[in-house]
Every structure is written in structure tokens, then in C-alpha cells.
Amino acid sequence: MSKIPVEVKDKSSKKKTGGPAGTEAMVPIFVMGKRYEVPASLTIQKALEYAGYQLVRGCGCRGGICGACGTVYRFPGSYRIEVGLACQTVVEPDMYITQIPFFPANKAVYDIEKLEPTGSTVAALYPEIFKCVGCGTCTRSCPMDIDVMEYISRAIRGDVAGAAELSFDCVMCGLCSARCPAEEAQYNIGILCRRLYGRHIAPRAKHVNKVVDLIEKGKFQKGLEKLKRMKMAELKKIYNEREIEPDMAEEYWEPEDKTFIIVE
Ligand code: SF4
Ligand code: SF4
Ligand code: FES
């Protein structure tokens, strides 16, 4: 997060979000210790930008998916450190805010092709997993409401598929790890389990194999070459005229032109 040399001073002359100019309540927040007045309806991310910060790190999708905007905050008089995603959390008066766009957790290096999908593999790559004290701080810290402690517990028990399933919604924000007294790298353990599951446990998708086979045999090559030779206007025309699945499709729908689709 870098500060651009423009400071917002005259807040009264600014257009306020969510209503006519000048009508929205302002709240004080503290960013890395410095006080700013920002519109009360803004997310932390938008409030930071309103205050003049240019987010070159700690900001990605702006929609709660990429996990880049992990943020910690606290209110005066409270000992409690709160956490959230800056793009999803609305500001509250007197929040003391700092972003943690990256947390330096342990990250094992491996070749997924060479690993066995077992608890021993997880334990060998992340031996610290056994230091978990079961405090549940990770679960309470997770902005995605994942039961982090439980997926770590499943990984400890060698239930790789279970850990993969429970950690599926992880956005890799690192907040669980930042708060763990046992210095676990929960999110890296979760993604290891998902990779092990995807590569070695999940049944292969036959239809994907079939399409890959057809690609390798050049079924789509002629069509691709044709597209590459088209002018922009022609491309737009065929795009706009393409067959589209109706909003209220029957249970099974397929286009009339089956040149490039695989029909079972
Ligand atoms: S915060 Fe760390 S020690 Fe506590 S339950 Fe989660 S992984 Fe275990
Ligand atoms: S499991 Fe950890 S890294 Fe993943 S979303 Fe939850 S807090 Fe973020
Ligand atoms: S910017 Fe992607 S989760 Fe917040």
C-alpha cells in the first residue's frame, strides 16, 4: 500500500457515496495510526482510497475472491484484534486499521506428481502441523467462515480428501496463519490437500479426457485457424449471432450446430 502525494482535505466539497452530496455521515478511522474522516458506507478498501492511498498491493478482485486484502483492526478500549477482507468489511467509527497483504508462512516446495495422497506426505512437508493446540483461533479468524481447525485436524488424521473438501473455499488470505500460536501454515496445508486430492484421489473426468484427446488429434484446429483469419467485424457478427442456451433451458439443451461440440 503506497501513499500518493494527494491528501483529501476538504471532505465537505466531495461527492458522498450513497446519497446526495454532503448528506452522508462521516466516520473517523485510523490507518496505520493516522486519522482520516471517511463516508460511513464505504468498505475499508474504498475508505483507504478515499483517504488518498493508492492500493498497488493488498488489492485484487475487489469481490472477496482473491484473498489479497487481508486486514486487521481494533477498536479503542478493546483488546481484541479483529480481522476481515478490506473489500468486504464496511468501516466503523474509530477502527484502527492495518492491511496484511502477505503473511510469510511456511511454504513447502514439491512435485505433486511424485507425492502419495496420505497424511504422511502432509506431515513430511509440514511437520509443524502436530504443534496445533486446538485453540480454534484460525477458525474464528477466517473471513470465509471455514472451520480451519477442523481441516487441519483432518489433515493430521491423514484424511486428505476431508481436508481438501473443508478447505475448498479458502481464498489464501493468510489471516488464520497470522494469528496461529503454533505458527501453522493452514492455507498452504489446505492447498496441498486439495492438490493431492485433485491429482491422485478424485476420479478422472472422462469427458475432459475425451476432449483433450480430440484437441490433440486436431479436431478444432481448422475452426481455430478460420477464426484467426477473420476480421474484427466478422468476429463480432458471429459472436453476436451464436446460439445461446436460453435462461430457462430444458434439463438438456444443445446447440443445433454441433460442429465443435462433443455429443455423447
Ligand atoms: S490457530 Fe493454530 S493452534 Fe489454534 S487451532 Fe488453529 S492451527 Fe491449531
Ligand atoms: S483458511 Fe485461512 S487463508 Fe484461507 S480464507 Fe480462511 S483465514 Fe484466509
Ligand atoms: S480484493 Fe480480492 S478479496 Fe478483497
pLDDT recorded at residue 15: 39
Q: Give the long-range contacts of residues 14-17, CB within 8 A, separation 24 or more.
A: 17/41, 17/42, 17/46
- The pLDDT, as a whole number, for residue 22 is 58
Query: 137-152: per-residue pLDDT in tens?
Result: 999 999 999 999 999 9
pLDDT, residue 19, reads 46
Q: Specify the domain boundaries for CATH 3.10.20 within the chain.
A: 2-99
Greater confidence (211 vs 85) lies with 85
Nearest CA to ligand 2 atom 5: 170
CB distance 180 to ligand 1 below 6 Å: yes
- Which atom of ligand 1 lies closest to the CA of 182? 3
Question: Measured between alpha carbons, how far apart are the two ends of the chain, in Å?
Answer: 52
65 Cα: distance to centroid of ligand 3 (angstroms): 6
What separation in Å is there between the alpha carbon of 143 and the centre of ligand 2? 7
Choose which CATH entry (3.40.1130, 3.40.190, 2.60.40, 3.10.20) describes domain 2-99.
3.10.20
Q: Is the pLDDT of residue 216 over 90?
A: yes
Q: Quick check: 8 pLDDT over 70? A: no
With the most atoms of ligand 3 within 8 angstroms of its CB, the residue from 48, 87, 99 to mutate is: 87
Tens of pLDDT, residues 246-263: 887 677 888 888 877 776
Ligand 3 atom closest to the CA of 61, numbered from 1: 2
The CA distance from 155 to 221, in Å, is 44
Distance from C-alpha of 146 to C-alpha of 3, rounded to nearest angstrom: 33
Ligand 3 centroid to residue 160 C-alpha, Å? 27
pTM for this entry: 0.78
The share of the chain scoring above pLDDT 70, in percent, equals 90
Cell numbers placing 182: 503454533
Tens digit of pLDDT for each residue in 99-122? 999 999 999 999 999 999 999 999
- Indicate the pLDDT class of residue 77, thresholds 50, 70 and 90: very high
